[in-house]
Chains A and B, each alone.
Chain A
């Protein structure tokens, strides 16, 4: 047992840290720091910088453009990126679809789509959830019926993140309505420009437009866009959902938020005293920092155990990471609410960049409440925390 990093690992961390310091476009860094939504171009320009450096798809197998990094290196890469702060490469392509294609796609799909995912030439979105199929995803009803060399797709997806930017959507569709619910599902790639695809925005409680409804009305999809085998889509979906272990806790994000909070708390005053000197605030902050340090260690335990994992099943501890990680990210948004005080209240119309109006209250105040509200999502999506607990109870505790 040696709880220190090797000099090579430290050198690697310093290398990626230096890269993020110099390569993240200033506008992206600033929006991230200040809690603004990123524009499509922000994602694209940043991911192309990463791709040029060969770092857009570190998690992929080297044959398809992965870096072949050790789990510790992967961890450092994500952690440093989160702390920079910089957005991760678009997850729908890089973390979700890419690994599925590499594992289950055919050569043609891999050759065509993977490089385009890496360079963000295609913007992918995830069409899993439906109005009637949330946690119980396998009850999904969007149907795909074979008609010659096409599938004809009908139904509705919802909560589709950033579908408004998307060129493509990967969908779970029901291809065998007679089979048991997990067994009649297929994994289909659909061009968003296809006739019969309609995207409608959903505005969330923070006022933002991040998620959408996507409707399919007799959409014709070439059969060559089926991934793997028909009716095996559930297996691929499970693979996809269990894939992300490293970085799922987003410890680096919370670290960066804490640093920002401390910085702001030095400037914000309560009477004559900066808020950073408020004993209660400091203790609540320290509480979060302690849990975060513990989570960081838990994450490193998972990272270090990757090398011992013989079967390819995801480490059950990743569920712990998700639960604790989401709680801590949310806790930090609550501390920010406490810090901003009454200036949590103004809700100016212009939340986006480019407004010339002077700020109301502190110049960092306007995004605090929206981020607090928006980040409630973290314990809901990707398998809600309740679902994570069901999984742990079953898989780890055997209940």
Chain B
């Protein structure tokens, strides 16, 4: 049991932190939102230079063979910077599926391009009727000779508008919520039959609604065995939850630090407002919420590579509840303790609150995961 970062991990943390401090201040971030794709290609190239785009892929495919702790370090830093870039979409989600389901040949062609920043990806999995049920896939893939024909609609595809390629899930057999019978296919985002409607999300990032109409892909576009993709999807979503937990820590830390700083500078009634005990206690409550969330982010990181899916799912459900609840409390109180300033679009805290709020909805909010955990034997084993 050792919570210290190794020398290399510390180096990674320092260098990502420095990169983002230099190139993604809050002002720069707001400017980057106005770029054509809603994020900065230039910054993305710097991520590539630093090596964080290839971080979790195996060395033999062009990655760095790093584990969940390194992903946590990067995600926390991205959270602190409120980064706009499609790291979650490309590296964690789509990249994760390539890692877990891809063939050696697929990895050898794709990983170097992900790592050098020339290929961005998005995971087109969620559908409107599915809400947070991962097995709910109505989009279909039908075999026609040696091609697959994909039809259906995917919703809120993170960074789906700017992605070069999409990994789309589609049903090959079974009924809509069956775990069995789901396939994953790698398609060119501009392939004929694909219509993408991109939009900004409330946290300042981007997503897309994507319609697939008779989209034809070759057999070798399948990731893993068609029909057997569910385990990989579940696993990658769990990894994404661990990553989001780490991102949340960055987001919450900034909100808390900004609040405490404000309590020390803002004066009313002839004194700094931090002299008021009710605000002291509130900021301590925020700290406790943050530290509890940090602990669960560590726990999620520890469990991200757990092969026993049921145990892993429980851990991620618990982490998602904790970060959802902590994040909501820290965010709401950060706004409250700033007073009117907290309400302004110009000030950074509101933007962190919005990101935190969207992180809660991603892959299911706290209530959803509480229900999921409550349906199991729980965390305290008999």
Contact = CB atoms under 8 A, between A and B. Distances in A.
Interface of A: 1-6, 9, 72, 255, 258-259, 262-263, 279, 282-283, 285-287, 289-298, 300-301, 303-305, 308, 317, 320, 323-324, 386, 389-390, 392-393, 396-399
B195 to A, nearest CB: 41
Interface of B: 1-6, 9, 69, 260, 263-264, 274-275, 277, 280-281, 283-285, 287-288, 291-296, 298-299, 301-302, 318, 321-322, 370-371, 373-375, 378-380, 382
A378 B264 CA distance: 32
- The residue among B69, B284, B302 with the most chain A CB atoms within 10 A of its own CB is B284
Contacts of A262: 378, 380, 382
Mostly, the A contact residues are helix
B283 A397 contact: yes
User: Lowest 6 CB-CB distances: which A-B pairs, in order?
Assistant: A297-B295, A393-B280, A3-B302, A282-B374, A294-B292, A286-B374
Nearest to B275: A399
A290 B318 contact: yes
Nearest to B263: A399
Given A283-B374, A290-B373, A294-B293, A1 B283 contact: no
Contacts of B3: 1, 3, 300-301, 304-305
A292 B379 contact: yes
A389 B264 contact: no
A393 B288 contact: no
Contacts of A279: 374
A367 B370 CA distance: 30
B379 A390 contact: no
Contacts of A392: 284, 287
A291 B292 contact: yes
B-side binding surface: helix, strand, loop or mixed? helix
A289 B378 contact: yes
Given A293-B296, A323-B288, A399-B274, 8 more contacts: A1-B2, A3-B1, A3-B3, A255-B380, A259-B382, A279-B374, A285-B378, A390-B277
A291 B378 contact: no
Nearest to B302: A3
Contacts of B374: 279, 282-283, 285-286
A22 B169 CA distance: 54
Contact of B291 (A298, A303, A304, A398): A298
A286 B370 contact: yes
Contacts of B6: 1
Contacts of B302: 3-4
B1 A294 contact: no
Contacts of A301: 3, 295, 298
Nearest to A71: B1
Nearest to B2: A2
Contacts of A386: 281
A247 to B, nearest CB: 16
Contact of A9 (B1, B299, B322): B1
Contacts of B295: 294-298, 301
Contacts of B263: 399
B264 A398 contact: yes
A4 B1 CA distance: 5
B322 A1 contact: no
A72 B264 contact: no
B175 to A, nearest CB: 26
A317 B291 contact: yes
Contacts of A295: 292, 295
A259 B1 contact: no
A3 B298 contact: yes
29 contacts: A1-B2, A1-B9, A2-B1, A3-B301, A5-B1, A9-B1, A255-B380, A259-B382, A282-B378, A283-B374, A285-B374, A285-B378, A289-B378, A289-B380, A293-B296, A294-B293, A294-B296, A303-B1, A320-B288, A320-B291, A324-B292, A389-B280, A389-B281, A390-B281, A392-B287, A393-B280, A397-B280, A399-B263, A399-B274
